[in-house]
């Protein structure tokens, strides 16, 4: 009888598990149909391209997941590559009559905003219109929406036009309480990535560089918005100081930041009038994915300019990067670049870099592979929102470097940061350590004690050696004397427009400009643009047992703007000890 119940129980469990598996398969299948509905690239006649400026802008759009419909639009991203493609196609697609920008809380690096904004301006130059509406506009969303022919604001809405700030978080006090301190070895007066772990406030040098690049970014935004809204730069700057903070909605109209106060229903009526629709006619919206999925512009030819996306933290191991979603890993990147080097159809390569840097060792390996690639075909760097420290390291040896005026780059410096938990272990936890060793350095890096003077000197010398190598690579790539590089290095962060003036960047422009430059160097007139590597299919995340994307997303949502800094603390023990990295997160607000 006991065996009978055992088999019955096993059968019931098996039935339940089978039912669960079939249920999951059914849900995914149905979700796939839902997700695919409307994403076939079919654009309705007389439609409006609706772009929701919410979430964050990332370099590339993924394939998406059939389960995305469960998010109810609360958490999504805008793939910059897909959005730029859609805007080009929308300008030439007779079915798309205009664009409706729906403002919200949008996060992005300033240079990514600048590139997307330029594409919106080019769309308008095709003769089509743009209308914007928002209950509230974040500064990033307003910067984009300022290109619109008409800007509508909710009667009790607001526009964030309060200037820019950077507010780093310092962990020194917390670490002191738990008995941990950082042992830091660095080169570069401005190399401030270590400051949150050894200071309680910004150093004078760091404050100087942050004020410099913030001012450069803000001045670019002022000039762009002033031109679109037909306002004076000084007037816009003055509004940021006084008028526009916690004011009535009508104040934005009076100061010409917006055109009309309206509710969403009123805006939809205005869109119907632009489309010459009747009262009973429905508005037809399309989206970025549908438009981008339309026919490619131009004929496909065999000769190709390859665009290779290198974004995320640079590391020497498999795994995800600074945002836990993307990484520039040595093995994968080198393998990809080798394939492009050997592909005879690829006549030139544009490497799109968006990275805060990372492992100095990994950066050197990737730099070397780029030199091998450059020996056989032209290599152009297109810098995105961030191409600093290790991101600049891998860029410096290219034929040309292009950046947006608001790109954050430079940060040419090296540091090592190793925790000393001896106080935590010995005084707070009561542990004791002893050692038997055959040589003076046998217990180098031992737990229970900080580095001694000899060990510290060797680590600093090793960091100095890395700095010499880094600045030497820059000098060779940029055709500058090494001393001249050191004069503008010191770990200092520059904007793209500043970097061009001091020789770290060749030209200012977007990805399309870089592609055209690459084709010119390769002496090809007709070419296809190929994009690498291929986005990872959504189902791979389900098969990857080394990640817990759901838990990670929940932590990210809970911590918000503090997530990046805490994620770095969590991974310090797994990082290479010597880093070519800018401040982990510029924390621009």
Q: Catalytic residues, which ones? A: 191, 389
Interstrand relation of 96-107 and 47-58 (parallel, antiparallel or unpaired): parallel
Dihedral sign for Cα 267, 273, 276, 281, please: positive
The Cα 175–Cα 181 span in angstroms is 6
Q: How far lies 300's CA from each of 57, 216, 228, in Å? A: 29, 40, 36
The Cα 58–Cα 580 span in angstroms is 23
Q: How far lies 464's CA from each of 194, 349, 366, 457, 469, in Å? A: 16, 33, 20, 10, 9
Q: DSSP readout, 428-472?
A: IS--------SSTTTTTT-TTS---HHHHHHHHHHHHHHHHHHHH
Angle, helix 80-92 to helix 110-124, in steps of 10 degrees: 10
Phi, psi of 197 (to 5 degrees): -110, -5
The Cα 56–Cα 560 span in angstroms is 12
The Cα 102–Cα 131 span in angstroms is 9
Angle, helix 563-571 to helix 549-559, in steps of 10 degrees: 130
Q: How many of the other CB atoms lie within 10 Å of CB of 19? A: 10
Phi, psi of 260 (to 5 degrees): -145, 150
Per-residue burial over 53-80, b if 16 or more Cβ lie within 10 Å, else e, is bbbbbbbbbbebbbebeeeeeeeebbbb
Element (H, E) at 127: none
Written as six digits, the tokens of 505 are 């960047």
Written as six digits, the tokens of 168 are 């780093």
């Amino acid at each position: 009888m006991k065996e009978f119940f055992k088999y019955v129980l096993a059968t019931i469990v098996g039935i339940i598990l089978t039912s669960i598996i079939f249920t999951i398969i059914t849900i995914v299948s149905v979700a796939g149909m839902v997700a695919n509905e409307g994403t076939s690239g079919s654009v309705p006649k007389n439609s409006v391209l609706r772009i929701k400026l919410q979430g964050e802008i990332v370099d590339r759009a993924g394939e998406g997941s059939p389960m995305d419909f469960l998010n109810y639009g609360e958490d999504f991203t805008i793939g910059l590559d897909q959005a730029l493609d859609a805007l080009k196609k929308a300008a030439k697609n007779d079915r798309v009559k205009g664009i409706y920008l729906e403002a919200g809380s949008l996060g992005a690096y300033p240079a990514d905003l600048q590139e997307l904004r330029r594409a919106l301006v080019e769309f308008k130059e095709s003769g089509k219109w743009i209308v914007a509406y928002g209950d509230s506009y974040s500064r990033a969303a307003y910067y984009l929406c300022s290109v619109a022919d008409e800007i509508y604001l909710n009667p009790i809405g607001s526009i964030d036009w309060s200037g820019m700030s950077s507010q780093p978080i310092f962990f020194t006090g917390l670490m002191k309480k738990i008995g941990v301190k950082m042992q830091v070895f660095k080169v570069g007066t401005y190399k401030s990535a270590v400051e949150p772990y050894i200071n309680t406030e910004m150093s004078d040098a760091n404050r100087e560089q942050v004020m410099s690049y913030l001012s450069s970014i803000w001045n670019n935004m002022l000039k762009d918005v002033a031109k679109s809204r037909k306002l004076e730069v000084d007037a816009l700057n003055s509004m940021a100081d006084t008028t526009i903070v916690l004011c009535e909605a009508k104040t934005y109209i009076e100061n010409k930041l917006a055109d009309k106060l309206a509710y969403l229903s009123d805006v939809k009526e205005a869109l119907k009038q632009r489309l010459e629709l009747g009262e009973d006619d429905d508005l037809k919206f399309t989206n970025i994915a549908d438009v981008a999925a339309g026919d490619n512009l131009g004929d496909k030819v065999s000769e190709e300019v390859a665009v290779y996306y290198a974004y995320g933290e640079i590391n020497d191991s498999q795994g995800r990067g600074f945002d836990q979603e993307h990484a520039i890993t040595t093995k994968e990147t080198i393998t990809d670049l080798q394939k492009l080097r050997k592909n005879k159809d690829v006549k030139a390569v544009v490497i799109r870099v968006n990275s805060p840097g990372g492992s100095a060792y990994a950066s050197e390996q990737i730099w070397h592979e780029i030199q091998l690639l450059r020996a056989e075909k032209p290599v152009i760097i297109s810098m995105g929102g961030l191409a600093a420290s290790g991101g600049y390291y891998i860029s410096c040896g290219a034929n040309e470097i292009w950046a947006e005026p608001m790109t954050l780059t430079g940060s040419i410096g090296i540091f090592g940061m190793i925790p000393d938990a001896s106080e935590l272990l010995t005084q707070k936890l009561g542990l004791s350590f002893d050692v038997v060793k055959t040589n003076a350095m046998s217990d180098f890096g031992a737990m229970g004690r900080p580095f001694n003077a000899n060990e510290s000197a060797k680590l600093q010398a090793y960091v100095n050696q890395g700095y010499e190598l880094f600045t030497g690579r820059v000098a060779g790539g940029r055709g500058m004397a090494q001393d001249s590089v050191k004069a503008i290095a010191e770990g200092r962060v520059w904007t793209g427009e500043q970097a061009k003036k001091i020789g770290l960047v060749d030209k200012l422009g977007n990805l399309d400009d870089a592609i055209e430059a690459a084709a010119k160097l390769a002496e090809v007139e007709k070419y296809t643009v190929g994009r690498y590597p291929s986005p990872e299919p959504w189902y791979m995340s389900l098969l990857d047992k080394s990640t817990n994307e759901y838990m990670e997303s929940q932590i990210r949502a809970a911590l918000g703007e503090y997530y990046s800094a805490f994620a770095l603390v969590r991974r310090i023990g797994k990082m290479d000890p010597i880093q070519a990295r800018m401040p982990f997160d510029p924390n621009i607000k």
